[in-house]
Structure 1
């Protein structure tokens, strides 16, 4: 069962460690996803990634249903729909922008989550939070600056920003719909993944996407795909859902605030990407604002 905040004490410390690991593996996912998209269409890849995740969890989910632990399983469906939108934006965004940009822009979800939770709780948004939000926006502007201060956000950048907003909605909605309800963490993760899979298959079929025959014969493709399934999807979603059962959406989002740093570093090491001095300043402003909010909230 997904229980209330009282369970936080039992897992105190482990929750933070798991969310840090999520930040690390999600940070590596941007560069690896760009490599996989060479072989397969965006929605075909999403369907494969989340379909395998659902299959891995199926035995445990069936056991939970037989034990009567998932009487309110339907509450996971809206969160799965939001997750489908997030990954449609995120993977398409990665395909159309640099992995470094994607990793850094997605960090705005931390600020957006804090703002959204304050609004839903009908609490005044602190001046400090607004200040950090403005600092983050300035960072985005500088990050999008080309030579001669030509400000451009391409389609990929806008899609990543859409994914950042979706993440804020996702963690808040998951907390609201599943807190204290009769659905296990494994089942919540599996149902979310299944919804994403069905949506992705439908869209891929409508678009007539094709999977390259070479992908099925490439060791690199399957190794990267399995890593993204096991670590960046199965483990990451389970850890996030577990953390949401123990603490607030804002704290969950902010504890993963180091994701853009790992993402940018990995993109440079794996893909050889680079940033100009002005873009580095923008990236630094985003990361500093996220970490300041994280420290203040703690």
Structure 2
């Protein structure tokens, strides 16, 4: 029963994350990628406070005592937050240069990267990956490489984000096994990601002409969707769901994020892929599925 509950949580996570590519793309019509990420993670940190109070264990005392994490959770939250901050900002900047559907499939490559990177943590790499890795590379080529054999900078950034999301999966699993509080890890990692994004905005972005407050208000709906659902709800579901599901099964379920991304891009943004890109998507998705068998 607990495994079913975990699987359903992860399936809902994939649906929310996939559709969030649309909101992330639309949000950058109003503010820059770093500002968008800083705002969404600041809101997500606030949204998660009642979640921590409700599901974070039977702590007693004042508000801080009930929210206060232990040492392992603090370490896990900071490590996961650093990795997620890098990953989410690479993805957000990449999305400003590529389509939501394509970004969804390139991001899905993290699922193949999880067992490969896990090898460095002493885990066994299965022989099926000898087929999956070249298949996914061919799919990536068809999906992203242009006629002059170049990859767009946006696609490259999204691929780099996939590497960091794979590390994030492994680090979440590592700290949960050490007894860290899942919802508190999520809470700390959002605060850390907000800080990293705000620093990026200060360095690389300018205040919008009409003022930051006006720009953020204009993009309030994409911000609310990505902060409340994609960040606050989905990342929490991921962390809690992984408690009941081993990492390989978890990544298999979350691979459906790429399918939801391309469907959402088609439904809401009118994105259309040509035949070559569709074949690339199919190869990536098949490779992702085979990697989990």
Fold equivalence (TM over 0.5): yes
Counterpart residue number, 2:70? 71
Taking the aligned partners of 2:279 and 2:223, their CA distance within structure 1 comes to 33
Q: Relative to structure 1, is the Cα distance of residues 92 and 208 closer, same or farther in structure 2, using a 3 angstrom cutoff?
A: closer
* 1:154 matched to 2:169: no
Gaps spanning 5+ residues in structure 2: where? none
Deviation at 1:257, TM superposition (A): 1.0
Counterpart residue number, 2:288? 290
Checking the alignment, whether the CA contact within 8 Å between 1:69 and 1:184 is kept in structure 2 is no
Q: Relative to structure 1, is the Cα distance of residues 232 and 217 closer, same or farther in structure 2, using a 3 angstrom cutoff?
A: closer
Q: Relative to structure 1, is the Cα distance of residues 68 and 26 closer, same or farther in structure 2, using a 3 angstrom cutoff?
A: closer
Taking the aligned partners of 2:50 and 2:270, their CA distance within structure 1 comes to 41
Q: Relative to structure 1, is the Cα distance of residues 111 and 208 closer, same or farther in structure 2, using a 3 angstrom cutoff?
A: closer
1:143-199 per-residue CA deviation (whole Å, 9 max, x = no partner) reads 1244xx443311110110011000110110122134242x42221111000001111
- The DSSP-based 3-state class of the residue aligned with 1:127 is coil
Counterpart residue number, 1:82? 83
Counterpart residue number, 2:177? 179
Taking the aligned partners of 2:26 and 2:260, their CA distance within structure 1 comes to 17
Checking the alignment, whether the CA contact within 8 Å between 1:23 and 1:262 is kept in structure 2 is yes
Counterpart residue number, 1:6? none
Deviation at 1:60, TM superposition (A): 5.5
Q: Over aligned residue pairs, what C-alpha RMSD do you find?
A: 2.1
Deviation at 1:20, TM superposition (A): 1.0
Counterpart residue number, 2:239? 241
Identify which range, 15-24 or 208-217, moves more after superposition. 208-217
Q: In the alignment, which of 205, 228, 231 is matched to residue 229 of structure 2?
A: 231
Taking the aligned partners of 1:100 and 1:56, their CA distance within structure 2 comes to 27
Gaps spanning 5+ residues in structure 1: where? 1-9
Taking the aligned partners of 2:87 and 2:217, their CA distance within structure 1 comes to 29
Q: Relative to structure 1, is the Cα distance of residues 217 and 49 closer, same or farther in structure 2, using a 3 angstrom cutoff?
A: closer
Q: TM (normalized to structure 2)?
A: 0.88
Taking the aligned partners of 1:291 and 1:226, their CA distance within structure 2 comes to 32
Taking the aligned partners of 1:290 and 1:106, their CA distance within structure 2 comes to 11
Taking the aligned partners of 1:105 and 1:31, their CA distance within structure 2 comes to 15
Q: In the alignment, which of 274, 277, 281 is matched to residue 276 of structure 1?
A: 274
Taking the aligned partners of 1:92 and 1:166, their CA distance within structure 2 comes to 14
Deviation at 1:32, TM superposition (A): 1.7
Taking the aligned partners of 2:6 and 2:222, their CA distance within structure 1 comes to 26
Taking the aligned partners of 1:223 and 1:153, their CA distance within structure 2 comes to 32
Counterpart residue number, 2:109? 108
Counterpart residue number, 2:7? 16
Q: TM (normalized to structure 1)?
A: 0.87
Taking the aligned partners of 2:5 and 2:244, their CA distance within structure 1 comes to 11
Q: In the alignment, which of 197, 203, 214 is matched to residue 200 of structure 1?
A: 197
